[in-house]
A = this chain, B = another copy of it.
Amino acid sequence: MKAEIISIGTELLLGEIVDTNTPYLADQLALLGIDLYYSSAVGDNYQRLLDVFQRAWRRSDIIICTGGLGPTQDDLTRETIAGLVGEEPVVDAELKEELVRFFTQRGATMTQNNTKQATLIPSSVALENPRGTAPGWWVEKDGHLIIAMPGPPSEMHFMWTNQVLPRLQKKTETVIVSRTLKTFNVGESAAEAQITHLVTSTNPTLATYAKPDGVYLRIAAKAANKEEANKLISVMERDVRDIVGQYIWGVDNDSWETVIADLLNKRKLSLAVADSFSGGLLAHALSSESVAEQCFRGGLVAKSKESREALGISPSLLEEGDHGKLAMEMAAMVRRILCADIGIGIEGYIETTESAAVDHIFIAVESEKAGYHTVQNHSRRHPQMKARSGYYALADLRTLLLTQ
């Protein structure tokens, strides 16, 4: 099956917004094993929209479009699809009632133009949109499938997951299940090469994705039902774990912050970080996760000589230029002043050579209570080492928590 994505909205052609719907859907289609050969963006103009839809109709089996479902005159997706398949949109009494209820609940009156959000054509089924006012359309005609969803990503993601995906799976009589194994540092290991032979497998498939917090290995299986798909996944997961198991830190929705918070909370340990090298990114990540509320004491950014001296770091150490020692001092200091059990210190410098910039990062983990007193040096040539330094720190901490 061949699919095509059409993003609708003049704002896309004025450069006002970045289209994140297309990569989201493209990824989902890849997972479903549906080929995507074309994606395009088109403005709010009936003739141009119809033109693009007609071409898509000729060359693709599935047309997935986002945007243009709103109440204004500019929103022309329903009209275009109706024109394409030669049907007339009519107001659906039930959809209209729901819409009126939506407005009433919010203490507002529904204006006339909103009625168009309650229209259907004979070939369309409404796709519920609990996150907004515009329902989507699922249109099946002459062996073609058209799926129309709202443009706002949160509405679209929700509709895709809860309305479209189950229908697609039912239609194709296959279920697709995936499991993502999240690794760190595997890219720099010899082990990575050992799993490449698995990448050629067709069912389940194994795909790798380089992300800021590590390399994700996504296993996806197609089967007649969930149980069978899960069985297929389990077999490959075992193979993958046999080879790169030691690099896996999480699965599916795990984040570094939740994984670390979980380990700390279980051990009733608290953490504070001095991450001047990343300018506080690690503290930001840890304080955004509500799960870390219990164990995260706070963070400190102090790069200047003045502030470091004020914090009690000795001037001689600052002059010495021993980044490992400095990281240790900062870890111990932040642990004390923020009253935490464990302190992390991240220091580093960037060495610029003729051909590249190499980041030298020093990560200290210090704890009187837990007996940690380690400094690791991570030197890498990577454009995002500042952002990644926090993950190196959490990876070091995880190893300590699990092994000591």
Contact = CB atoms under 8 A, between A and B. Distances in A.
Given A27-B15, A339-B310, A355 B106 contact: yes
Interface of A: 12-20, 22-30, 36-43, 45, 48, 52, 55, 106-107, 209, 270, 272, 276, 278-281, 283-284, 286-288, 293, 296-304, 306-307, 309-311, 337-340, 355
A38 B41 contact: yes
Given A280-B301, A296-B304, 14 more contacts: A12-B23, A19-B22, A37-B42, A38-B40, A38-B48, A276-B298, A279-B286, A279-B288, A283-B301, A298-B301, A299-B300, A307-B338, A307-B339, A307-B340
Nearest to A304: B297
Nearest to A270: B306
A280 B299 contact: yes
B23 A15 contact: yes
A13 B36 contact: yes
A3 to B, nearest CB: 10
Looking at A12, A25, A37, A55, the one whose CB has the most chain B CB atoms below 10 A away is A37
A36 B302 CA distance: 48
A12 B288 CA distance: 30
17 contacts: A12-B26, A13-B36, A15-B30, A16-B209, A17-B23, A37-B43, A276-B287, A276-B298, A280-B283, A280-B299, A283-B301, A297-B302, A297-B304, A300-B300, A302-B338, A306-B340, A307-B340
A40 to B, nearest CB: 4
Contacts of A20: 18
Contacts of A30: 14-15
Contacts of A43: 37
Contacts of A338: 302, 306-307, 310-311
Contacts of A300: 298-301
A287 B280 contact: yes
Contacts of A281: 280, 284
Contacts of A40: 38-41
A48 B22 CA distance: 19
A337 B339 contact: no
A370 B297 CA distance: 31
Given A283-B301, A301-B283, A13 B25 contact: no
Nearest to A18: B23
Contacts of A38: 13, 40-42, 48, 52
Contact of A23 (B19, B42, B293, B299): B19
Contacts of A339: 306-307, 309-310
B298 A303 contact: yes
Looking at A106, A286, A302, the one whose CB has the most chain B CB atoms below 10 A away is A302
Nearest to A338: B307
A15 B19 contact: no
B41 A27 contact: no
A303 B287 contact: yes
A339 B17 CA distance: 42
A37 B26 contact: no
A302 B107 CA distance: 39
A16 B12 contact: no
Contacts of A298: 276, 300-304, 307
Given A279-B288, A283-B279, A299-B280, A48 B41 contact: no
Contacts of A17: 23
A38 B55 CA distance: 13
Nearest to A288: B279
